[in-house]
Amino acid sequence: MQSSIPGGAAFAAAVAAVVVVGTSSCRGYTEPAVMPTPSPPPATNVTVTILGSAGVKAFSPNPVMVSAGDTLIFKNGDTTTHHVVLDDGSIDLGDIAPGSSKWLTAKGSVTNFHCIIHSSMVGSINGTEPPEPPPCMTPGYC
């Protein structure tokens, strides 16, 4: 069978037909919808006020409830310096002078904290109740 189009022209026509077919098959194509990744809720600031230097009432609120990513602020409302640490040893806020604040980013898990200067000052993060303070071994600091 002979073509009425010379050899080179027949090849060009075939390529053009493929291109046209390829182009026309894209018509009506719609990109799939991309679902946005939901944003986590915004972190909030939660403040624990240091009220005194004895017992579970030294911190307010106690226990304190926070979510992962929240900023937990320890504000010293007492007239004495305090030194707050987490019981699991993961964070040491250092000395907190009267009127000063120190903060940490909450993990959202349950943990306890205490003042290393005043051993009876104990508190809980996300617990059901504050822990029992240890027996006082240094009168005047409990």
pLDDT in tens, 50-59: 999 877 789 9
Q: According to the model, what pLDDT value does residue 9 have? A: 52
Residues 72/103, Cβ–Cβ less than 8 Å: yes
Q: Which CATH class is domain 45-125?
A: mainly beta
Contacting residues for 111 by C-beta, under 8 A, at least 6 apart: 86, 87, 88, 90, 124, 125, 126, 127
Query: Could you tell me the pLDDT band of residue 134, with boundaries at 50, 70 and 90?
Result: confident
pLDDT in tens, 62-94: 999 999 999 999 999 999 999 999 999 999 999
- SS3 for 66? coil
Q: According to the model, what pLDDT value does residue 72 have? A: 97
Residues 125/106, Cβ–Cβ less than 8 Å: yes
DSSP, res 61: S
